[in-house]
Amino acid sequence: MLTDSAAPTLDHAPEGRGGPVAPPGRWSRSAGEFALVALYGVVLTLVLLYPISLHPATLGRSDSGDGRFGIWNVSWVARTLAVDPAHLFDANIFYPHHRTLAYSESNLGAGVLAMPGYWLTRSPFVAYTSAMLLLFVLAVIASYYLVRQVTGSRGAAAVAAVCFPFCPYVLSMTAEIQLLTTFGLPLSLLAFHRLADRPGVGRGLVLGIALAMTALCSGYYGIFAGLMVGWSALVLAVMRPLWRSPRYWTALAVGVATSALIVLPFFLPYVPLARLAAGGDYRPLSEAVLWSANWQAYLTSGADAHRWLLSLVSGWKAVLFPGFLTLVLALTGLSLAGTRAPSAAVTPGTAGHAPRRTETMTLYGSIAVLAAWLSFGPHAGLYLWLDRLLPSLFGMVHAPSRFGLVVTLALVVLAGLGVAALQARVRRPRLLAGGLCVAAALELAAVPLPAAPNPVIPDVYHSVKGLPPGPVLELPIYWRHDAWFQNTIYMLYSTAHWKPLVGGYSDYTPPDYVTMPETLSEFPTPASFAILHRLGVHYVVFHPGRYYDDTSRRVLREKLAQYRAYLRPDLVTNDAWLYEVVAWPPEP
């Protein structure tokens, strides 16, 4: 177990002519601590994400539309960043439209993490799962160092490194990889706290990089991190007070400018959709009402130890219960951390330093309250006010319930204060911290994690890969709103060839794809041939098993026989038929 002593940080190292000087061996000890924390994160991830963690190629979340979309998305980024980065946002869906990656979360951060797994195996499933596992390890590391920075206790940090990364909300979102990039939230706050402790341009740059990384991993979490850092900057400016410090405001300005400069090139493809959001056309406020939290959500969890709670609540709209241990420790932190521990020596900036304890309780207590208020959406008031104040920003936050993750993070930091306060009152603080780590893991575990066997990509797609360049139409195409997500299976299959697809699935749908797919679903017909001719589509893949019934399959065979002069079968298997358009019938 990592030591629980309230060790000073580099902020309190002795001064030299060039600034702070690390004590002898400091950097080697820091590297050793980081290695232990990373190993701790690996072990927790392997255990709490079982069985996916041990079977990345064969088990995953391909059983849902969100899961298949994420697998395609992450694989596209991992592949295209290496072979054609200039066309990264020109994803292979909704042909002939461009910048289609911007129709939803781009998942750039997860795609970067997926690159080693993708290029070593060329498996989209390994790409997704390897990125997912790395994200949990990074969340453990970031949570640890945030709470260590705030409390000075390694034991408290180790407990927090379980409670936040593996909270019920996160473990319920394994099919949506952008919501697993939680490491950016504690990382951004860590960078801010270090800046506030010793303002400077260098630390402003680090803060800007942390905020940019968070935004590039998840637009939601980028907004959350910006709001938390902005609020923290105001609170600490008043409490310390730092409002009189030009270095403080200069460092913050450097952070904001750095973040904006890094994010701006990747945000430009989203500008047209941001304009729609500002006009209320893309994601209306009624959608935010639909995806707002209710009080039942804060009693809902998928952890094995919490299943009995589900029998007490009904109608929950999200999974936001932070865990009993987190709640108890947070309350302990609020009640005990304000009193001086019986231990003699304290280090400024740690849990034993009264002014900083009060500051931490005030800051993270207010963050928890405000985030909970926002999570209840427009009807609660605060979200509606901010939406009117910042329509372009909040127009992209169509699920206010996700602010519940910020509530959990704030409670985990307060729980860190509780652990530090308890450690100062017991004779074996390391044993206490170790026991709390085990208790947290047992409480939050949902093992085995929900998973499904990954599908086998049909052999026909290897033939598609060998064809000359050109878009592909997959049939049956799903055009009804309630079945639209089923197009993700074709997106997943396209990872075998990466040719453009006529169709797709995303948060935003181009206007012409509202009506055109209905006509294409009847292919082959004169009207559907005319559309393919206009688009320059020569390849069609039929999935007979996905047609609705025997009658529709019989009609399909009859139409293929009727148009055999225009369609040539290149490969026919039990699960897929590959046809090539060799001529065009007269247009209607």
What is the phi/psi pair of residue 174, to 5°? -70, -15
The whole-number average pLDDT for the span 31-50 is 97
* CB of 302 closer than 8 Å to CB of 174: no
Task: Kindly report the number of other CB atoms within 10 A of residue 582's CB atom.
Answer: 10
* Structure-block tokens of residue 239: 């409490």
**Which is it for strands 452-453 and 59-60: parallel, antiparallel or unpaired?**
antiparallel
Q: What three-state secondary structure class fits 541?
A: strand
DSSP 65-133: HHHHHHHHHHHHHHHHHHH-GGGTT--SSSTT-S-GGGGS---HHHHHHHHHHHHHH--HHHHHHHHHH
Q: Which of 547, 405, 557, 375 is nearest to 477 (CA)?
A: 547
Residue 339 to residue 322: CA distance in whole angstroms = 25
pLDDT (tens digit per residue) in 200-239: 999 999 999 999 999 999 999 999 999 999 999 999 999 9
Residue 69 to residue 352: CA distance in whole angstroms = 48
pTM for the structure as a whole: 0.91
Low-confidence winner among 1-10, 300-309, 461-470, 498-507 (lowest mean pLDDT): 1-10
**Predicted pLDDT of residue 13:** 38
pLDDT (tens digit per residue) in 509-519: 898 898 899 99
What integer best gives the mean pLDDT of the chain?
Answer: 90
CA 276-282-287 angle, to 5 degrees, is 140
Q: Which of 191, 194, 178 is nearest to 225 (CA)?
A: 191
**Predicted pLDDT of residue 270:** 84
Which secondary-structure segment (H or E) carries 19? strand 19-20
**Which is it for strands 539-542 and 472-475: parallel, antiparallel or unpaired?**
parallel
Domain positions in the chain: 10-444, 460-581
Higher pLDDT, residue 10 or 581: 581
Tokens 């993070």: give the residue.
Answer: 409
**Predicted pLDDT of residue 398:** 84
Residue 5 to residue 430: CA distance in whole angstroms = 9
pLDDT (tens digit per residue) in 366-389: 999 999 999 999 999 999 898 888
Say whether pLDDT at 345 is over 50. Answer: no
**Which is it for strands 19-20 and 452-453: parallel, antiparallel or unpaired?**
unpaired
**Predicted pLDDT of residue 271:** 81
Higher pLDDT, residue 187 or 26: 187
Say whether pLDDT at 570 is over 50. Answer: yes
pLDDT (tens digit per residue) in 459-477: 999 899 999 999 999 999 9
Exposed/middle/buried for residue 152 (C-beta within 10 Å: 0-12, 13-18, 19+): buried
pLDDT (tens digit per residue) in 310-328: 888 888 999 999 999 999 9
Helices 404-423 & 124-151 angle (0-180, nearest 10): 50
**Predicted pLDDT of residue 27:** 61
**Predicted pLDDT of residue 394:** 77
**Which is it for strands 539-542 and 577-581: parallel, antiparallel or unpaired?**
antiparallel
Confidence tier at 248 by pLDDT (50, 70, 90): very high
Residue 244 to residue 526: CA distance in whole angstroms = 74
Q: Which of 304, 344, 187, 205 is nearest to 261 (CA)?
A: 205
**Predicted pLDDT of residue 349:** 40
Q: Which of 334, 359, 337 is nearest to 424 (CA)?
A: 337
Would you call the peptide bond into 51 cis, given omega within 30 degrees of 0 as the criterion? yes
Confidence tier at 356 by pLDDT (50, 70, 90): confident
The whole-number average pLDDT for the span 266-288 is 70
Say whether pLDDT at 282 is over 60. Answer: no
The whole-number average pLDDT for the span 512-540 is 94
Q: Which of 192, 135, 190 is nearest to 165 (CA)?
A: 135
**Predicted pLDDT of residue 2:** 55
